[in-house]
Structure 1
Amino acid sequence: MLKFPVEVILFIASVLLFLSIVLSKFTAKMGVPTLLGFLLLGLVFGNGGEYDFRYDYPEFTLRLGQIALSIILFTGGLDTDLEKIKPVLRQGLMLSTIGVLVTALVAGLTIYWLSPLNFMTALLLGAIISSTDAAAVFSILESKGMKLGGKIFPTLELESGTNDPMAYFLTITISSMILEGGEFSLWTFLWKFIYSMGVGMLAGILIGYLMINTLKILKLKVGLNPVLVLTMILFTFSSMELIGGNSLLAVYVAGIVVANYRINASYLANFFEGVSWLMEIVLFLTLGLQTFIFDLPNTIFLGLIVSLILMFVARPVSIFLCLAFFKQTFKEKLYISWVGLRGATPIVFALYPVLYQVPEAKLLFNIAFFVVLTSILFQGSTISVVAKWLKLI
C-alpha cells in the first residue's frame, strides 16, 4: 500500500523526471545512455525498494511495452532515409534476420552447455536477448559527436532499427514450442516465419500508403495529422496481433513508406520524436518497476555468464559470419560486433514467457534485465574508447 497521497507521489515523480532529463545531457557524455537512469529509477522505487511500493503487473507492462515499441519503431522508420541505407541494405537486412537467428542459436547452445538451463529454455533466452537497441547506441554516439567512417554508422542504424521483429518472432515461436512439449518441426517453423514476416511486410507497405493517401484526401489541420497517424499505428499493431502478422515489422515498414514518399513528413517526424522519447521513458521506468530488486542477486552469476557469452561469443560470431562476404574491414566488423547494446526490447520480450507461464520464466526475465544492465554499462561506456583503439574515428 502506498505511504503517500497521490499528489505527493506525482510531485516527486515529476521532479525526478525533470532532474533526470536535465542531467541526461551530462550522463550521456559520460558514455551512459540517458534511459538507463529511468530504468534504475523504476528499480529503486519498485518492488523491494526503499518505499515499500509493490508493482507486479506483467500483462499490463507487456501490453504497454508493445504499444511503446510500435511507436518507437514507427519513429525509427520515419528517420530512415532509403538513399542513405541503400549501400548497406544487404548487410543490414542480413544482420537483422540471419544475424539475429545466429546470435540466438549460438547464445542458446553456449548457455545450455555452461548453465543448468535445459536446451529449450536456453534457446528461448538466446532469442530474448538477440536484438540490439537503436536508442541506446545512438544516444551515446550522438552525445559524443562521434563520426564513424566507412559504412559503420548506416549499418548499425539499419540493423538496430530492423532486428526487433526477428527477435520477437523467435521469442513467440520458441515459447509456443515449449508450451506444446518442445516438439520442433522445421517446416512449421519456416511457414510461421514466412507468414509472420510476409504479412507484416505487406501490411506495413499497404498501411504506409494508406496513411499517405488519407492525409492527402482529408487535408486535416496540421495538429490533427499526427493524431491520425498515431491511431493508424495502433490499428496496424492490433490488426497484426489478431491475424498473426509481425506487428513490429509492419509499423517499422509503414514509417519508412511515409518518410520516403513525396510528402512533407517533417512535422510528423518532430511530433513522433517527442512521443517516442516519452514512450522510451515510460517503458524503461515501468520495466524497472516490474523487476523485483531482491531477486537480482540470485541471478548475478548466471547473468554474468550469459552477458559474457553474448558480448564475446554470440554477437561476434553472428557479425563476422553475416559480413563475411561484404567489403568491410576486420576492424569495422569487430567494432560493429562490440556496438551491440541491449536496451528495453529484451526485457519486454522476456515478459512473454512470464505471461504464457513458461517454466523458469521469472528467471529468464531477471537474466534479461541483468544482461541489459551489463551491456549498457560495460559496452555503452566503452564505445568511444574502442573506436579510438581501432582507429575508426
Structure 2
Amino acid sequence: MVLNAGNILLVGAILLFVSIMAAKAGYKFGVPMLLLFLGVGMLFGSDGLGIQFNSPTVAQFIGMIALSVILFSGGMDTKFRDIRPVLGPGIILATLGVMLTTALTGTIIYFVTKWFFDTITLTIYESMLLAAVMSSTDSASVFSILRSRGLKLRENMRPLLEFESGSNDPMANILTILLIQIIQAGDMSLGQSAGILLMQIGIGAVAGYVLGRIALLAANRLNMDNASLYPILLLALVFFIFSFTDLIGGNGYLAVYIAGLVIGNGKMPHHRSVSTFFDGIAWLSQLVMFLALGLLVNPKELIPVAGIGLLIAVVMIFLTRPATVCLCLLPFRKMTKKAKAYVSWVGLRGAVPIIFATYPLIAGIDNAPLIFNIVFFITIVSLLLQGTTVNFMARKLGLVDDSAPAPRDFSFEELPEEIKSTLSETDVTADMLASGDRLMDLPLPDDELVVAVRRNDVFFIPNGSSKLLLGDKLMIISHGEHALVP
C-alpha cells in the first residue's frame, strides 16, 4: 500500500489505535511501549502488510520535530532542585561520556569488522560514525520507561538518568554531523573538529537559556483571555528555538532542552494545563516517531547484520558503557558502586540513534544502509534486554526506595462528573470589605469556600482571621445543595 492524501488519515488512525492497544497489553508483561510501537510499524511496513514508506528525509523530519517536543517536555518536567545534586556527574556523562563511548566503541567496531567479518568493511571514520550514532542514551526511552514504571529510586538515580538522557543527545548529534563532514571532506584537523564541537555546544546552551527566558517573559506578559492558547504559543516557540538555534550554528536539541528547564522552573500562567498538554504531545511524538521508524526499516535486511549487530550490542552493554560510566563517575566517590552499575545498565538505545542513522543515508555515505540496519538491530536488542529489566535491576541492586509512599489510586486532578463543585476566581472589592477586612467578615454563601488567596504573585492558604486587601484574588470552590449526590 502506498500512502497518499486519500488514505493517510485512515491508515494513521489505525496505526495509532493498534499501537495503543499493543502498549496496553505489553505493559502487563513489562515490555517497553516504545518497542511495541516499533514492532507495529514493522508489522505494517513493506515486509509486513505492505505500507510503502522509504523516505529517510521524511523520517528524519518527523524525528526532528518529535525529539524537539520530547526534549522540551522532559526539560519542563525536570526541577532544578532535583538535578542540582547530580549536575556534575550528569554534565560529564552527557559530554565526556558520549565522546568516550564513541572512541571506545568505534575502535572495537573497526578491529572486529576488520578481523572477524570479511563481508563487512568499515573505515576507522565509518566505525566512529556508527559508534557516534549510538553513543547517547535515548531520552524518549528513558523518560517513558522510568515514569511509566513509577520507580522510586535511591541516590538521586532518576534525576541523574533523566538529565543525562535529555542532555547527551546534542553531543551525539554534533559528533554524528562532524564525522559525516570528515568522511565527505576526506580529512579534518583536530582543531577544526574541536572548534565546531565547542561552537555547537556554546551557541546551543546560550540560545536555549536566553530564548527560554524570552519565551517565559512573553507567556507572562501577553495575558491572553483564552487559556488554551498558552500551550500553542509555547509549542510555536519550541519550534522557533530549535530552528533559530540551528540557523545560527548552535545545537537545536540542546537549546530546546535548556529552554524547557528554564520555562518549567519559572512562574507561568496555567502552568499545570501547559505541562499536561506537553505531556500528551510528547507521548504522541514518541508514538509517531517510533511508528515512522518502524515503517522505514525492512525487517528482512536486519537478518544479514544480526551477527555484527548482536556483537556490538553486547560490547556496548557489557563493556564500553560500564567502562565509560566508571571513568566519568570516578571523581564522585559518594556514589556507590551499585548506583554506578545501575547507571551503566540504563544506557537505553531507542529512536534517537535511529534518527541519527538517517543522517548518513541522506548524506550519501557509502556504508550508510549498513549503518542504519545495524543501529536498528542494536536498538531492538537494547530495548528487549535493558528496557524490560529496569525494575528488576533496580531491585537486584537494592536501589528501590520502598519507604516512598505508594501512588494513590485516586486523584482530585480530575473530579468525577457526579461532583458538581466548581472552582472560580474573584477579585476582592471595596463592597466586599465593607463589613470588615478579615475572611470571616466576607458575605459568602454557605456553599462557597475560599481555598487560596493570590496577592500580587504570592499565593497563601487563608483562615478565618486572614486579612484581605483590595485587589486580592480569591480562589473559591462552590457546590449546590445536592452537589455530591449522583
Q: Distance in 1 between matches of 2:15 and 2:357?
A: 27
1:175 aligns with 2:173: no
Aligned equivalents of 1:226 and 1:35: distance in 2?
25
- Which one is further off, 13-22 or 70-79? 13-22
Q: Conserved in 2, the CA contact under 8 Å of 1:28 and 1:143?
A: no
Query: Aligned partners of 1:16, 1:230: CA distance in 2, in Å?
Result: 24
1:185-239 deviation per Cα after TM superposition (whole angstroms, max 9, x unaligned): 1211111111111111111111111111111222122111111111111111222
Partners of 1:31 and 1:383 within 8 A in 2: no
Aligned-residue offset at 1:117: 2.0
Indicate if the aligned counterparts of 1:132 and 1:163 stay in contact, CA closer than 8 A: yes
Structure 1 residues 282 and 144, CA gap change in structure 2 (3 angstroms):
closer
CA distance in 2, matches of 1:11, 1:56: 19
Matches of 1:19 and 1:55 in 2, distance apart? 18
Change (3 A) 1:129 1:3: closer
Partner of 1:200: 204
> What corresponds to 1:345 in structure 2?
352
Look up the match of 2:477.
none
Shift of 1:54: 1.9
In structure 2, do the counterparts of structure 1 residues 23 and 241 end up closer, same or farther at CA, with 3 Å as the change threshold?
same
Q: State the match for 2:406 in structure 1.
A: none
Q: Distance in 2 between matches of 1:198 and 1:279?
A: 27
Q: CA deviation at 1:10?
A: 4.7
- Identify the residue that residue 395 of structure 2 maps to in structure 1: 388
Displacement after TM superposition at 1:140 (Å): 3.2
For residue 373 of structure 1, what is the aligned residue in structure 2?
380
Q: Which runs of 5+ in 1 are unaligned?
A: none
The Cα shift of 1:288 comes to 0.8
Aligned to 1:149: 154
My pick for the range that moved more, 136-145 or 92-101, is 136-145
Name the stretch that deviates more: 131-140 or 159-168. 131-140
Question: Is 2:355 the partner of 1:357?
Answer: no
* Per-residue deviation, residues 145-194 of structure 1 (Å, max 9, x unmatched): 4322112222111111111011000001011110111x131211111111
The alpha carbon displacement at 1:297 in A equals 0.6
Query: Is the counterpart of residue 297 in structure 1 residue 297 in structure 2?
Result: no
Q: 1:361, CA displacement in angstroms?
A: 0.4
Residue in structure 2 matched with residue 27 of structure 1 by the alignment: 26
State whether structure 2 residue 114 is matched by structure 1 residue 109.
no
Whether contact under 8 Å (1:77, 1:253) holds in the other structure is yes
Equivalent residue letter for 2:390: I
> 1:235 maps to what in 2?
240
Distance 2:64 2:138 in 1: 15
Residue 190 of structure 1 is matched in structure 2 by 194
Q: In 2 relative to 1, CA 206–140 (structure 1 residues): closer, same or farther, beyond 3 Å? A: closer
Change (3 A) 1:91 1:235: same
SS of the residue 2:305 aligns to: helix
- Between the aligned partners of 2:398 and 2:237, the Cα distance in structure 1 is 45
Q: Which has the higher contact order (CA 8 A, sep 6+)?
A: 1
Q: Identify the residue that residue 96 of structure 1 maps to in structure 2.
A: 94
2:276 corresponds to which of 263, 266, 270 = 270
> What residue is the counterpart of 2:36 in the other structure?
37
Percent identity of the aligned residues?
A: 42
Matched to 1:364, the amino acid is I
Query: Could you tell me how far 1:354 is from its partner in structure 2?
Result: 0.4
Q: Deviations over 1:64-113 (max 9, x none)?
A: 21111111111111111001110010011111111111111111011111
The aligned residue for residue 256 of structure 1 is 261
CA pair 247-143 structure 1, distance change in 2 beyond 3 A: closer
User: What is the CA distance between 1:11 and its match in structure 2?
Assistant: 4.6
Q: Contact 2:46–2:295 (CA<8 Å) still a contact in 1?
A: yes
| Structure 1 residue 286 displacement after superposition | 0.5
| TM-score normalized by the length of structure 2 | 0.77
Give a deviation string over 1:106-133, Cα, whole Å, max 9, x none: 1101111111422111100110001112
Secondary structure at the residue paired with 2:88? helix
Check whether the contact 1:29–1:143 (CA below 8 A) recurs between aligned residues.
no
| Higher mean C-alpha deviation, range 380-389 or range 161-170 | 380-389
Kept after mapping to 2: 8 A contact 1:74/1:251: yes
CA distance in 2 between counterparts of 1:196 and 1:145 reads 35
SS across alignment from 2:137:
coil
Q: Give the distance between the partners of 1:151 and 1:5, measured in 2 at CA.
A: 48
Distance 1:209 1:138 in 2: 24
8 Å contact from structure 1 (residues 128, 346) kept in 2: yes
**Mapped contact 1:29–1:144 kept (Cα < 8 A):** no
Match of 1:73 in 2: 71
CA distance in 1, matches of 2:79, 2:155: 17
**Paired positions, count:** 390
Uncovered stretches (5+) of structure 2, i.e. residues with no partner = 114-120, 401-486
Distance 1:204 1:128 in 2: 23
TM-score by length of 1: 0.94
Counterpart of 1:226 (choices 220, 226, 231) is: 231
Q: Indicate whether 1:315 and 2:309 are aligned.
A: no
Instruction: Give the strand-richer structure, 1 or 2.
Output: 2
